[in-house]
Structure 1
């Protein structure tokens, strides 16, 4: 980590830097800038496209603790060194991974072009799952830079599940007073089933396989992206390629898998059993999981994360720009996904067999009917 010089030449107290400040920042890097263009600035993050004599770069400013940003940049460098298809991180002239201010930091990396990855494109979702498997493999053995701060959720699953269950129970009491509110009416129709699934999932975390996998991940020093999104990927040379890395966490690999699968199915407005199975096949071919580890994934898929999230947004008014109609659209979508997921969750043995290349028949795989 390299600290920004406090020599009075420029101020970095503003939310976004002006052109002179950017010129000063770029002098810390072994590049010769030609032009700088603002790409976006929101939610404590600003990004510029920088044309240099060495090629096109992206400069990103994050209002985040520099020691935390150093941990993320170190993970980026680790993946890069392991040969992951990820934009090249550019070190400073003094070999630093980031430039650090008091409450923010900068990173510079290559700007990579390629085809946008879409949740509606089933082939691209499968390529993304293969990328996640590659990501998890490459993350192993990460030694964080000195002075960086690690973030971990790996040992906090029980606490997170309990907290979300308590939230749902609180929203249930609140919704019962909103007798004419259409969102609350829909919420109350589903909340008991969702609470039942959530409590079953919480009980399943006491499975010894959960503790075993937790210890294995600790020992391997692997990490997850934390909130895996296809928006940060492009398709390049027929495969997924990561444009930049915004966040990483020490956690079980199943977190990234669950988040992507839920996002894909939410876009489709239904749990596509065949696609879900094919996505897992593509992941497992790169980063195989054991039966016990897949059962933990099933537990996390059973927990109604999407239902909890939309209730949290609505009852805490987190999306002030959303209309009542938009909230209704989202909860209907999520109810459809969660309810159509049930059949998939009940067919673990058949799907696991198919993932591992076992004999596929009508009783063990959703693929059989469409192939016949």
Structure 2
């Protein structure tokens, strides 16, 4: 990995910039970032170990969003007009370094700004034509396969837990798993509804895409609005995916599903990127599926969180059970909640 200005000279030679200093900001997960002070202003250089064709797909999306007016850090092409620079088994991206305030999960106005940004993101993504030679990533049309895989994993984990009923994790897991499996099977059956197929077909035609992991961590507040510091990944999928992910994250921070807050957040999103009742029905299906419950069980049984002890796993498991179970009332109120969403825009 390059560590200094001298190491990165060959990279800078491809860009129309005049660097003055280089500072390594972060290295983890196959990704490194440097802060570049240049005559043209502060910039971020990102090095990532990824298939260059895949990165071209992401960089093309970044360029598309930028050109469609989304508040996102400006991507800087090479002097030859390339959106990213291949180093063989790794790729470089250069974009402006933004300054602003962090978005806070426990601040409702910040949460509303994040939801409005998500709406703007989906609106700006429409019409994306990936660059020639790029490799698309898509999950659209694969929801049934994903649901079935997660349900089967829960069924397998249930058998493991039943073999050790005296274990605290197993005991709590067994208490909840049948309820979660019921919701999973119901959600799987609901994917046969016409709205899911219609939205899938419309999304494929429109070119809309989602983030892989919609999170406030990649946003900041600048000039009173949420802006994106960088774009790590995208996938072709229904906007409902991003909405489900960010709503579940926000409610997990609150330790409970707060229906009033969820309505305000969806109203904020809808004020920028309106959805039909049929489309909200698809979102309700994805929120019904116990994604959070499946995720923590997956982490536990595969030992993916090496730094978590039993107490931390149990603490997070109880929090997720609280969120999933308290979501039931919300899920039963699609009609009145849809009316509330359409009543007006949330402030933020």
Q: String of CA shifts for 1:169-210, please: whole Å, max 9, x gaps.
A: 000000111223211111111000000000000000000111
Q: Provide Cα deviations, 1:187-240, integer angstroms capped at 9, x if missing partner.
A: 111000000000000000000111110000000011111210100000111110
2:254 is the alignment partner of 1:254: no
Q: Distance in 1 between matches of 2:212 and 2:115?
A: 15
Counterpart in the other structure of 1:351: 337
The whole-number CA distance in structure 2 between the counterparts of 1:282 and 1:294 is 14
> Does residue 245 in structure 1 map to residue 231 in structure 2?
yes
Aligned to 1:116: 102
**Equivalent residue for 1:142?**
128
1:292 to 257, 278, 282: 278
Contact 2:5 / 2:21 at 8 angstroms: preserved in 1? no
Structure 1-normalised TM-score?
0.91
Describe the SS at the equivalent of 1:86.
coil
- SS of the residue aligned with 1:171? helix
Partner Cα separation in structure 1 for residue 289 and residue 69 of structure 2: 35
Aligned counterparts of 1:175 and 1:16: Cα–Cα separation in 2: 47
Gaps of 5+ in 1: 1-14, 359-372
The reply to whether residue 264 of structure 1 matches residue 235 of structure 2 is no
Q: 1:281 aligns with which of 267, 279, 285?
A: 267
2:58 is aligned to: 72
Number of the residue aligned with 2:165: 179
Q: CA RMSD in A?
A: 1.0
Do the aligned partners of 2:138 and 2:236 also contact (CA within 8 Å) in 1? Answer: yes
Contact preservation (8 Å) 1:89, 1:109: yes
What is the distance in 1 between the residues matched to 2:173 and 2:248? 19
Q: Secondary structure at the match of 2:24?
A: strand
Q: Distance in 1 between matches of 2:207 and 2:10?
A: 36
Show the counterpart of 2:328.
Answer: 342
Number of residue-to-residue matches in the alignment:
344
User: Aligned-pair distance for 1:18?
Assistant: 4.7
Tell me how far 1:20 sits from its aligned partner.
2.3
Q: Which residue of 2 aligns with 1:153?
A: 139
Aligned to 2:27: 41
The answer to whether the 8 Å contact 2:4/2:23 transfers is no
CA contact (8 A) 1:265 1:272 kept: yes
Equivalent of 2:213 in 221, 227, 233:
227
Q: Distance in 2 between matches of 1:23 and 1:230?
A: 33
Task: Please name the residue that 1:85 is paired with.
Answer: 71
Contact 2:257 2:326 in 1 (8 A): yes
- Contact 2:2/2:8 (<8 A) preserved: no
| Other structure's SS at 1:80 match | helix
**Stretches (4+) displaced over 4 A:** 15-18
**Separation of aligned partners in 1, 2:135 and 2:72:** 22
Q: Distance in 1 between matches of 2:142 and 2:2?
A: 35
Q: What is the Cα deviation at residue 16 of structure 1?
A: 4.6
Output one character per residue of 1:305-336: Cα deviation in whole Å (capped at 9) or x when no partner. 00000000000000111111110011000000
Equivalent positions of 1:158-173 (< 5 A) are 158-173=144-159
Say if 2:323 is the partner of 1:311: no
Q: In the alignment, what sits opposite 2:194?
A: 208
**CA apart distance, 1:84:** 0.7
Q: Residue in 2 aligned with 1:332?
A: 318
- Give the CA deviation at 1:144: 0.8
Tell me the distance in 1 between the aligned counterparts of 2:122 and 2:300.
Answer: 34
1:196 counterpart = 2:185: no
Contact kept, 8 Å, 1:16 with 1:46, in 2: the verdict is no
- Give, in whole Å, the separation in 1 of the partners of 2:262 and 2:108: 10
- Residue range with higher mean Cα deviation, 237-246 or 178-187: 178-187
Q: 2:235 aligns to what SS in structure 1? A: coil
For structure 2, list consecutive stretches of 5 or more residues without a partner in the other structure: none
Q: Secondary structure at the match of 2:160?
A: helix
Cα distance in 2 for partners of 1:103, 1:153 equals 25
Secondary structure of residue in 1 paired with 2:234: coil
Equivalent residue of 1:339, what SS?
helix
